[in-house]
Amino acid sequence: MTYDFVGRSNLEVSRICLGTMHFGVSADRAESFRIMDAALEMGINFFDTANVYGRAAGPGATETIIGEWFDQGGGRRDRVVLATKVYGQMVSSPGPNEKKGISTYKIKKQVADSLRRLRTDHIDLYQVHHIDRRISGEEFWGTFENLHRNGDVSYFGTSNFPGWGLVKYQMIAEQRGDLGIVSEQTQYNLLSRYPELEVIPAAEQFGIGVMPYMPLAGGLLTGKKSAQSGSRTAEVESEYGLPISQNTQLAEFSRICAEVGEPEFIVAIAWVLANPAVYSAIVGIRSVKHLEGLDRAASLELPPEILDRLGKVFDINRGRALKPGPAPEAFAW
């Protein structure tokens, strides 16, 4: 496994981050335990979760499974850089202060609940799951500064933030003399390159490391020729409006991967990690077998000509009045 630093922090993590969204959903407790054990053995020291994960099992179910795994001992907690999130609604009938969003009132309660479920005394990377457009910069950073001062949280990150949001809160942090945001988690892959316009340039400018989720586009970039009805890949086909069968982009992608001599999933992850702003890619795991090859994906360096060809095959600006590259050059005269 290879490692990198989280943004401008001095925290070092594996370039593959274990995504746990399927724990308690597609992976039962026993399989989730096996996955975490195997991930550690592979050298993956970075686990990402969220307080809302659990789906039918209920919000908090995934954090509970991770906490029970930590409780087995053997230095498990000390070997893991643990990331979780706050923002979502945790109860089915929310009161005024329990709806989606963040506030000092809500975060104080939800961080305590996450610590209890995770059976730990601190969270290494605490991430705001979505931007709350109403909260003031003073309340935002005052709350997180207190969490850091109390020892509950070591570093702060964001998820699904726009470029302007990263700039806004990072500038306020700098004015307060704080390290601020060290990580932004965003959906980024060969089929979803919109972060290249604003989010990634903003992150690079302010020393924020980028941690993409869905680097395999929910299975669309794994070489599958069709999606089973009801599968996650079938869901993503609908979300992206991109059926796998008879898709020329994906067919060309498979041809390039064959030339490289690597499976599609390895090339797709390696492409994401090739972006200088990216320090780690989150891969959601449903079974131990899905860990196979991730160490290779973390270390594979794609030749410049292959990166160029992939960039052209999956050019988001094709057929639009846009030019390759970041904003505003992508859409300015």
The range of the structural domain enclosing residue 61 comes to 3-218+266-302
Q: At 122, which helix (H) or strand (E)?
A: none
**Residues 74-117: pLDDT tens digits?**
999 999 999 999 999 998 889 999 999 999 999 999 999 999 99
**β-strand 153-159 against 123-128: which pairing, if any?**
parallel
Q: What is the pLDDT of residue 319?
A: 54
Residue 17, strand partner residues? 282
Assigned domain for 326 exists: no
The two tokens of residue 158 are 């964001």
Assigned domain for 320 exists: no
* CA-atom Rg of the chain in angstroms: 20
The two tokens of residue 319 are 């057929």
Catalytic residue, candidates 53, 87, 155, 169: 53
Q: What is the pLDDT of residue 233?
A: 74
| pLDDT for residue 239 is more than 80 | no
| pLDDT for residue 24 is more than 70 | yes
Assigned domain for 227 exists: no
Assigned domain for 255 exists: no
Assigned domain for 245 exists: no
CA 81 to chain centre: 14
- The C-alpha angle 88, 21, 129, rounded to 5 degrees, equals 30
Q: What is the pLDDT of residue 4?
A: 98
| pLDDT for residue 321 is more than 60 | no
| DSSP H helices in 261-314 | 264-273, 294-299, 304-313
* Domains in the chain, number: 1
Q: What is the mean pLDDT of the chain?
A: 93
What's the whole-number mean pLDDT along residues 119-135?
A: 97
What's the whole-number mean pLDDT along residues 284-294?
A: 95
Q: Nearest Cα to 268, choosing from 186, 195, 318, 212?
A: 212
The model's confidence at residue 322, banded by pLDDT at 50, 70 and 90, is low
Q: Nearest Cα to 266, choosing from 236, 235, 292?
A: 292
Assigned domain for 196 exists: yes
What's the whole-number mean pLDDT along residues 229-240?
A: 72
Cα–Cα distance for residue pair 23/31, rounded to 1 Å: 8
Q: What is the pLDDT of residue 234?
A: 74
Query: Which CATH number is 62's domain given?
Result: 3.20.20.100
| pLDDT for residue 213 is more than 60 | yes
Is 169 part of the annotated catalytic residue set? no
The two tokens of residue 9 are 């922090």
| pLDDT for residue 8 is more than 80 | yes
Q: At 181, which helix (H) or strand (E)?
A: strand 181-187
Assigned domain for 156 exists: yes
What's the whole-number mean pLDDT along residues 17-32?
A: 96
Residue 210, strand partner residues? 184, 278
Residue 202: how many other CB atoms lie within 10 Å: 25
| pLDDT for residue 31 is more than 80 | yes
Going by the DSSP 8-state scheme, the letter that residue 208 receives in this structure is P
Residue with tokens 């933030």: 161
| pLDDT for residue 231 is more than 80 | no
Residue 18, strand partner residues? 47, 283
Cα–Cα distance for residue pair 166/223, rounded to 1 Å: 34
CB 127 within 8 A of CB 183: yes
Assigned domain for 333 exists: no
Q: Nearest Cα to 203, choosing from 221, 218, 188?
A: 188
CB 25 within 8 A of CB 54: yes
